[in-house]
Amino acid sequence: MKIIWIEEIHIDSKELTSIENLIGKPAPSAILINWDDWGYGVFEIDAVSIEKFSQNLSQIQSALAWNLIYSTVFMMVREGKMAPNYYIQLVRNHIINETS
């Protein structure tokens, strides 16, 4: 899994934010919001992205992105938004490739 592009987007505290510079681009196979961990807030991962990350987590080059994905999925389990066995399976499938 490789990064096709990274967009720096500032989201106002509105119900809907239009992101003009993404209009016309193909939809990504997965989205990791706050990928550089500078934002302050609760950032969940949508179901499509979770599925893609669970299949390809070991192929992601960034250790920070790995950490964010693991910790976000764990937070979603803790908040009751995902089954605990999903997190266990995610770790089980990719722990062999962990280097840090």
pLDDT by position in tens, the chain (length 100)? 566 567 777 777 777 777 787 888 888 888 888 888 888 888 899 999 999 988 888 888 888 888 899 999 999 999 999 999 989 999 998 888 877 7
Give domain status of residue 98, yes or no.
yes
Domain count, the chain: 1
Q: Can you give the pTM of this predicted structure?
A: 0.80
Which residue range forms the structural domain that includes residue 97?
61-100
Does residue 65 contact residue 30 with C-beta atoms inside 8 Å?
A: no
Give domain status of residue 1, yes or no.
no
Does residue 37 contact residue 68 with C-beta atoms inside 8 Å?
A: yes
Give domain status of residue 22, yes or no.
no
Give domain status of residue 30, yes or no.
no
Give domain status of residue 21, yes or no.
no
Give domain status of residue 91, yes or no.
yes
Can you tell me whether residue 92 is helix, strand or coil? Answer: helix
Give domain status of residue 47, yes or no.
no
